[in-house]
Structure 1
């Protein structure tokens, strides 16, 4: 094969959207995991949603793997707990940017309502702030200093909910 010719992408590099038993999009898995779920009888193809269908061949049979599958086992949702408030998670939630000015340098954590004034150490009271904004705010409330939050702080959402929201944004015609 000449270097300038490209091979068609391997079927094994494709991914499949997995729906729960209630038809809610749960995750995206690689085609190998999808084949395992289909062969084990833990999932079924969703034929009413338009999408690609790939053939996976073995010496003994050919399996049609659609772009969307539905779990058939009653798998109770794994218990998910909101992660604890910590620097890494708050920085991730806030996109590694100061929630007052947008800076991405010298980041710290700030309590919107200072702890000394009764502010709790919770997801809706802790934000990412750069050192200059944190020093400017000090031990005061936002309106006392004239600072405004770029976005309202909130706890992270369940990963399945976040995936479902993203899926419906990307596939409005499916719904």
Structure 2
């Protein structure tokens, strides 16, 4: 693979007008945003970006850019509580033992005890743990959840949290 191809596979972090990290885009998209004056370079670190040469232009593409325009963010709705979404949230593993086989949905507080079918009460459990827990709460069954169930966060917020964690790790 040529060096030019390797550069084109790199990504640039895009920030909103108020400096919230929104997403990563490929260099081609970053160039379009810069050339059309919809974004500006943002220097968060001493790391240089990339020099992109065209027949009539040499463009410096930084590792971080900030949108100049309102980012008309699409509305995002919390996804419905269903097997596919709960599997995604729980990383396809039992929230009691960590198994990745024979997975089922489990209501932390059983529905028969008034437990709702909400993000805060539904987890993934393997058949063995779900059967052992039965119609009881984890406390009554002597079981512990690996993570506290919660609704998925907006993707931009998740990306921003991870971005700042990585930035802090790079500074240390």
8 A contact 1:49–1:68 mirrored in 2: no
Per the TM alignment, residue 111 of structure 1 is displaced from its structure 2 partner at its CA by 0.4
Per the TM alignment, residue 7 of structure 1 is displaced from its structure 2 partner at its CA by 4.3
| Residues 48 and 114 of structure 1: CA distance in aligned 2, closer, same or farther (over 3 Å) | closer
For residues 7 and 52 of structure 1, the distance between their equivalents in structure 2, rounded to whole angstroms, comes to 20
RMSD after superposition: 1.6
Per the TM alignment, residue 48 of structure 1 is displaced from its structure 2 partner at its CA by 5.2
The correspondence for 2:20, drawn from 1, 24, 28, is: 24
Normalising by structure 2, we get a TM-score of: 0.91
The correspondence for 2:70, drawn from 74, 88, 106, is: 74
Per the TM alignment, residue 24 of structure 1 is displaced from its structure 2 partner at its CA by 1.4
8 A contact 2:76–2:154 mirrored in 1: yes
8 A contact 1:136–1:145 mirrored in 2: yes
Question: How many pairs were matched up?
Answer: 169
Normalising by structure 1, we get a TM-score of: 0.90
Partner of 2:25: helix, strand, or coil?
strand
Q: Going by fraction, where is helix more abundant, 1 or 2? A: 2
Q: Note the residue ranges of structure 1 that are not aligned, 5 or more in a row.
A: 1-5
Q: Where does residue 11 of structure 2 map in the other structure?
A: 15
Is residue 68 of structure 2 the alignment partner of residue 52 of structure 1? no
The correspondence for 2:131, drawn from 122, 128, 135, is: 135
